[in-house]
Amino acid sequence: MTRRRWIADTFTDTTASLTGDQAAHLARVLRAEPGQIFDVVANGFLHRAEITSVSDSEVVFTLHEELEADAALPVHLLLAVFKFDHMEWGIEKATELGAERITPVLARRTEKHLSQAAAKRVERWRRIVREAAQQSRRSDVPTVDDPQTLKAALQSVSAETKLLLAETEQENTIAAALQQASQQVSESASQSVALAVGPEGGWTAEEMQLFTEHGWKHVTLGPRILRAETAAIAGLAICSALL
Ligand code: SAH
């Protein structure tokens, strides 16, 4: 049986704690007791861990041996802000698929009221990635940046291969772009990728130009127009198959 995995809220070198809702859930619903063994992620590392104390507000573990853990998919997703319910769903799925980092972008065609509300939403998005990371048994939690302009977002990208998902592109695929890029990086270097997905109204011509100036390549996901969250998921699934 696979053990339940928890992502610690706080930790030291030898202990880790769950607090808040997580502690309450463990204490009241799962009736956790000292001596029980779980897998706990602390400081980005996965450990076998033993409960040493339980209360409704804090469950403390002693960390035992470190366990082998899978790394995140080296993909940085730039996701234009779009309708929050769809966006949240996309963020959750992107986390399950392994995305390493998500940057919410205030695009030109992001609806105004969404742009204005985005800064307050980010805490919720961070909670979603945390829960999705735990549920999907990741050993890390993807970073969710503060919502930002496209210009700022583009400057923060360090991935070698930068792919703009564009419904206007007809030929270049993610597979072709990754293959071309892999011929340029040295054999040993693992390829890191940034993927950008536009809002419901798509990117403007000016935004497309800005991407080009920053060395992004346009790629297609096929002849159909996908919703933004579908495009993000499809793009990540393709990267996960190829990287
Ligand atoms: N402007 C479009 C809608 C944009 S869809 C329209 O005609 O209404 C939202 C985003 O999903 C796009 O900005 C793009 O990043 C991505 N996308 C949708 N379909 C795609 C496709 N076939 N290939 C690549 N990206 C796509």
Angle at 20 between CA 37 and CA 12, to 5 degrees: 55
- Cα 230 to ligand 1 centroid, rounded to whole Å: 9
Q: Say if residues 91 and 144 touch (Cβ distance below 8 Å).
A: yes
Q: Which domains does the chain have, with CATH numbers?
A: 5-66 (2.40.240.20), 73-242 (3.40.1280.10)
- Cα 201 to ligand 1 centroid, rounded to whole Å: 8
What's the DSSP call for residue 25? Answer: I
How far is the C-alpha of 140 from the C-alpha of 100, rounded, in Å? 9
How far is the C-alpha of 51 from the C-alpha of 179, rounded, in Å? 47
- Confidence bin at 43 (pLDDT 50/70/90): confident
- Cα 189 to ligand 1 centroid, rounded to whole Å: 31
> Among the residues of the chain, which ranges form H helices?
20-24, 84-96, 112-135, 150-155, 174-184, 205-213, 228-242
C-alpha 55: how far from its chain's center?
31
pTM for the structure as a whole: 0.89
- Cα 167 to ligand 1 centroid, rounded to whole Å: 4
Query: What residues does 179 pair with on adjacent strands?
Result: none
Mutate to test the pocket of ligand 1, among 78, 110, 167 (most ligand atoms within 8 A of CB): 167
Tens of pLDDT, residues 145-197: 999 999 999 999 999 999 999 999 999 999 999 999 888 766 556 789 999 99
By alpha-carbon position, which residue is closest to atom 12 of ligand 1?
A: 198
